[in-house]
Structure 1
Amino acid sequence: MPDVIQPSHSLSSAVPIVLTIAGSDSSGGAGIQADIKAISATGSYACSVITAITSQNTLGVSGVFPIPPEHVEKQLEAVFSDLNVAAVKVGMLADSDIIQTVAKKIRQYQPQFVVVDPVMVATSGDPLLAESAVHALKSDLLPLADLITPNLPEGAALTGLPVPENSADMSSMVSELRQTGAKAVLLKGGHLEQDENSNDLLIFPGHTELLTAKRIHSDNTHGTGCTLSSAIASYLAQGHNLLEAVTLSKAYISQAIAHADQLDIGKGHGPVHHFFHSDGVHHPSN
């Protein structure tokens, strides 16, 4: 079991505020619901801007209703004009108009940290981003990000390269991912299910860090990407540097997956267990 440590709120004496900008998952395992759980479980205060309402469960996505951009903008104004947001996590944005609206407000308010999870497909394989919006994502939003967190299919969509089938393929994608404009990239290797370990590449402009954890085999992986990126934003808001924030978050998601089978949610890919400790806020050690 991981050691228990207290949250680090070095940016201020108050609990840091993290904004998640994402879609709603009606089953509660991914999207805005997973984000709020992860931010809360890792010791920060979560607020939200909803970009789309999905009709979704553990078996798949049956409908997506994008929120009109003017209402996304009103939500963003309401949050940024009142709350001292330390970090922003961006998830599902649905279409190019919403992407442009979010990018405009991030440029206006300039939050200290921006983590973008380039959500394009659900765990079930259902598309969550219109193909026409990929260009807007790459041109308007990714250059504003301190970190983007693509999985392997998303990395392929962003670079035009084939989906990696092994660690060598992942490494060959590094140069192209550096061209996205983001300050750093976390390329997640979770889809390489044949590997004993789950290896991620944290790509900086001048070097790359290999982050590894023992692979945990579970069908209950709904919302893993949302959860990881939200935890990273939470730890950044608390004053950790990027490598520390990613390392802590990888340990957190590993434990959330390891405890996922304690839940019995749905008939398909169930959610991870965000609150695997039920007696307060706990942080995994490195």
Structure 2
Amino acid sequence: MQQTDFRALTIAGSDSGGGAGIQADIKTFQELGVYGMSAITAVTAQNSLGVHHIHPIPLTIIEQQLHAIGSDMNPAAVKTGMLVDAATIELVATMSKRFRWNNVVVDPVMIAKGGASLLQQTALQALIQHLLPITTVITPNIPEAEILTGLTINTLKDREKAASNFVQMGVTHVLIKGGHDETNTEHSVDLYYDGQSFHYLSGQRVATKHTHGTGCTLSAAITAQLARQKKPLEAIHKAKKFIQAAIEHAYPIGAGHGPTNHFAYNQMKNKRKTATGNHIQHL
């Protein structure tokens, strides 16, 4: 496959602060060698201190964006972020079917870091009914998984039950993120389920408040890897390495929750290559 076939589409809101949403997705696609395209569902006024205003994009404009991309520059993978309302969700599902988009990654964005609601309550049923049945990978955190499944999640067994529920809803692969589970102060444990077996994916916790956009960035990294023809579990493993580097070397700008560092993964990789090369030359 030629590199020009590594194309991914993000359908999400614009973050004026650049740490999440469309901006985080495009940065992630670029860093992982994937050509990024976007359909903007809402424009937000936000910074490290929170979301100050949300302006939904008219449905006809969203449809025109999706049609323009699907009819001419069809992506190999698609991710959804902030979808705002039921009508937008139904439209995205309809257009995805029309253009036969595979590798659909759903990040069910509901609440921003500062607490602002990013998904209307009436949209939940639309998400479950229309979008989840065509979802390849869903990436909820624990509170989002609770809302979507109606379950209370306290234990790993609870997460397994929630993951099974998602598969029953039509999702092919489930990644329930464990960052909100603070019972383990050294590691966070994500649960992956493909309808047959459970995998527990551990990651080192980082003591930082600069985590704005972590969910967007992780799901975008998974989407990029799927666009590069990686299998879902391999895509998730690679995406976790990307977000781990982004958090460990966060970009502490602003007075609140600063963004993760989308440059970090490749910077660290290049440093390792340079160090290895210097060592070989020295020997």
TM-score, normalization by structure 1: 0.90
Deviations 1:28-56 (A, max 9, x none): 11000111111111110101000011121
Deviations 1:231-259 (A, max 9, x none): 00100111111111000000110010000
Alpha-carbon distance in structure 1 between the residues aligned to 2:175 and 2:9: 20
**Match of residue 185, structure 1, among 174, 180, 185:** 174
Aligned to 2:260: 272
Alpha-carbon distance in structure 1 between the residues aligned to 2:93 and 2:130: 6
Shift of 1:15: 5.1
| Kept in 2: contact 1:43–1:281 (CA 8 A) | no
**Match of residue 132, structure 2, among 142, 148, 153:** 142
Q: Does 1:119 align with 2:109?
A: yes
Mapping for residues 77-88 of structure 1, pairs under 5 Å = 77-88=67-78
Going from structure 1 to structure 2, the CA distance change for 1:173 and 1:33 (only over 3 Å counts) comes to same
Aligned to 2:164: 175
Deviations 1:207-243 (A, max 9, x none): 1111111112210100000000000010011111111
Alpha-carbon distance in structure 2 between the residues aligned to 1:189 and 1:197: 9
Alpha-carbon distance in structure 1 between the residues aligned to 2:79 and 2:222: 9
Going from structure 1 to structure 2, the CA distance change for 1:13 and 1:270 (only over 3 Å counts) comes to closer
Mapping for residues 174-213 of structure 1, pairs under 5 Å = 174-195=163-184, 196-213=186-203
Going from structure 1 to structure 2, the CA distance change for 1:188 and 1:277 (only over 3 Å counts) comes to closer
Aligned to 1:7: none
Mapping for residues 61-76 of structure 1, pairs under 5 Å = 61-76=51-66
Q: Aligned AA for 2:258? A: G
Alpha-carbon distance in structure 2 between the residues aligned to 1:174 and 1:235: 22
Q: Does 1:96 align with 2:86?
A: yes
Deviations 1:47-101 (A, max 9, x none): 1000011121111112211111111000001111111311001111001111111
Q: Aligned AA for 1:218? A: T
Aligned to 1:22: 12
What SS is found at the alignment partner of 1:131? Answer: coil
Range 145-154 or range 270-279, more displaced: 270-279
Q: Aligned AA for 1:35? A: D
Unmatched segments (≥5 aa) in structure 2: 273-283
Shift of 1:281: 8.7
Aligned length: 270
Aligned to 2:241: 251
Q: Aligned AA for 2:141? A: N
Structure number with bigger Rg: 2
> What do you get for the CA RMSD once the two structures are aligned?
1.8
Shift of 1:112: 2.5
TM-score, normalization by structure 2: 0.90
Alpha-carbon distance in structure 1 between the residues aligned to 2:94 and 2:53: 27
Alpha-carbon distance in structure 1 between the residues aligned to 2:169 and 2:256: 34
Alpha-carbon distance in structure 2 between the residues aligned to 1:102 and 1:45: 20
Q: Aligned AA for 1:68? A: P
Deviations 1:17-38 (A, max 9, x none): 1000000111111000111111
Going from structure 1 to structure 2, the CA distance change for 1:84 and 1:12 (only over 3 Å counts) comes to farther
| Kept in 2: contact 1:41–1:281 (CA 8 A) | no
Aligned to 1:40: 30
| Kept in 2: contact 1:80–1:109 (CA 8 A) | yes
Going from structure 1 to structure 2, the CA distance change for 1:277 and 1:134 (only over 3 Å counts) comes to closer
Q: Which has the higher helix share?
A: 2
Unmatched segments (≥5 aa) in structure 1: 1-10
Q: Aligned AA for 2:100? A: Q
Q: Which has the bigger relative contact order, CA under 8 A and spacing at least 6?
A: 1
What SS is found at the alignment partner of 1:213? Answer: strand
Going from structure 1 to structure 2, the CA distance change for 1:168 and 1:201 (only over 3 Å counts) comes to same
